[in-house]
Amino acid sequence: MIELLDAGRWTTVQDRGRPGLERYGIPPGGAADWFAAAVANRIVGNPPDAALLECTAAGPTLRFDAGAVVALTGGYSAGAPTWQMLRIAGGSSLALGTIAPGLRTYIAVRGGIDVPLVLGSRSFCQRGTFGGGFGRPVQRSDRLAVGRLGDHEPLAAPWPESHRLPARGPWEVRVIPGPQLDAFAEDALQRLTATACRVTPEIDRMGLRLATPGLRLQPREIVTVPMTAGAIQVIPSGGLIVLHVDHQSTGGYPVIATVISADLPLLAQARPGDTVRFRSVEQDEAARAHHRLTGWLELDP
Amino acid sequence: MWQVTPAGDQALLVTVGRTIDPSLLGQVLALDKVLADRRPSGLISTVPAYASLLCHYDPEVTDAARLEASILQLEGHVDAAMALGSVVDVPTRYDGPDLPRVALETNLTPAAVIEMHAGREYLVYCVGFAPGFTYCGALPEQLSMPRLASPRLRVSAGSIGIAGRQTGIYAVESPGGWNLIGRTALRLFDPAADPPARFKPGDRLRFIPTS
């Protein structure tokens, strides 16, 4: 068992989420930085769908009843080395401390965090207040069971820096235009990609609100449509909301462009005040970017 | 004309129209069913809403152009007539915090608002936004109200609201900007149920006043 001596700012159990249930209003969820989470599981030898802890801004302090093999990835932690296997002795504790650069650190434990599956996933769903073991973020004194997953040997060497994503901004984020590009003036996308957007403090797993200094796009109204993670909604009063993994399943603001799946991890690590620049790309570049990351995951460093 | 546009690198959005209209929802649901039956290769899941259908695909198996072609060849070949099921009764206590203001702004008595809201059948156009949230239409023109200028941070599960020509039911506690006129004890979302949402697009319901 793992006991939470301190829960950190916002620590939740996540896995790969529950995509495919959006028709019931359920967000896909899962780790916001899917790449870092996949690497963490890879390092400890877990299968890719093992549940882990997602920590935000300030990490938790964990006490391990029994010895454990652990890996931290994603945002860098003040209290422990990241992107490498750690052996934790039984009875000892691990304090992550402040997370920076980056915003979210993943803690994978060999065996996986064992909480009950809800609708096919162990992920905490904030909108529905279910999953994640407790139907809420973890709290001090919670105890988490460790599962029996772990089908590969842990990686002895640290995960190579060449196979990590940037940890700090400014962020260049690639987008595919649309799906509601035709709700905007012809030059709107060009004006958007020429704008240095600023991450506001209003960020969570549902989405990030970005300020767009000097840019005001005025789209026509649309009938409510289904939404995806990465959808860049243009808000009539100004600014953007970029939806993330716990996004609303439908929405009424037109989407000018959609962040490619390979760059969603960058937005999971962006912090308030960071600059985001969007760059429009074609499908083949998006596919190459995705292959690059999945290829890294298959590598044997 | 159906329009197919990319929604990122792993989904396509099929838009069959730009208004809230039962016949457009009929086309969306018919397309949804045909795709569920035929399962074009690489299609993972779909999300219907009003006049559009989102199609998630696996880019390792198919690509946007191929999936778009297999969708567009169905245009004109789907049966858009909706199968009409029975009408579900939603027992409703009309004691919402916004009922007096809605009455004032529509020049009706609260009793007349209730009678008008409860006095018709509604079509479910979409389940979305939050788990189980049920969007229904069409609300009588006379009850059409703008959303709240500043949304409530917390609307309790079961709350029934109106906004524009629509009425909706909050299935879980969430923020919300609709004018709340009542609530129901009917449970609309249960993660342990199959399916987890009580309603789906194409269902019909009516609100039954209770005291």
Model pLDDT for residues B70-92, shown as the tens digit of each residue: 999 999 888 888 777 789 999 99
Nearest CA in chain B to A247: B129
Q: Which residues 210-269 of chain A have a CB within 8 Å of chain B?
A: 222-231, 248-251, 255, 258-262
**Has the ipTM of the complex gone over 0.90?**
yes
Please list, residue by residue across A141-150, b when 16 or more beta carbons sit within 10 angstroms of its beta carbon and e when fewer do. Answer: ebebebbebb
Q: What is the C-alpha separation between B136 and B132, in angstroms, rounded?
A: 12
Q: Phi then psi for A120, rounded to 5 degrees?
A: 85, 5
**Which pLDDT belongs to residue B76?**
87
Q: What is the C-alpha separation between A124 and B192, in angstroms, rounded?
A: 15
The token duo for A284 is 């083949």
- Judged by DSSP in three states, B136 sits in strand
Rg of chain B, C-alpha, whole Å: 19
A164 near B CB under 8 A: no
Q: Between A and B, how many residue pairs show a Cβ–Cβ distance under 8 A? A: 144
Interval B139-195: pLDDT, tens:
999 999 998 888 899 999 999 999 999 999 999 999 999 999 999 999 999 999 999
Residue pointed to by tokens 């969708």: B71
Q: From the list A176, A225, A287, which residue is nearest B49 (CB)?
A: A225
Interval A221-230: pLDDT, tens:
899 999 999 9
**Which pLDDT belongs to residue A236?**
82
Residue pointed to by tokens 């096919």: A120
Cβ–Cβ < 8 Å for A228, B11: yes
**How would residue A301 be classed by pLDDT, with cut points 50, 70 and 90?**
low
Q: From the list B20, B59, B63, which residue is nearest A290 (CB)?
A: B59
Q: From the list B64, B197, B200, which residue is nearest A283 (CB)?
A: B64
Residue A43 has pLDDT above 70, yes or no: yes
Contacts of B197 in chain A (CB under 8 A): 24-25
Element (H, E) at B41: none
From A198, A172, A162, select the one nearest A263 (Cα to Cα): A172
DSSP label at residue B141: G
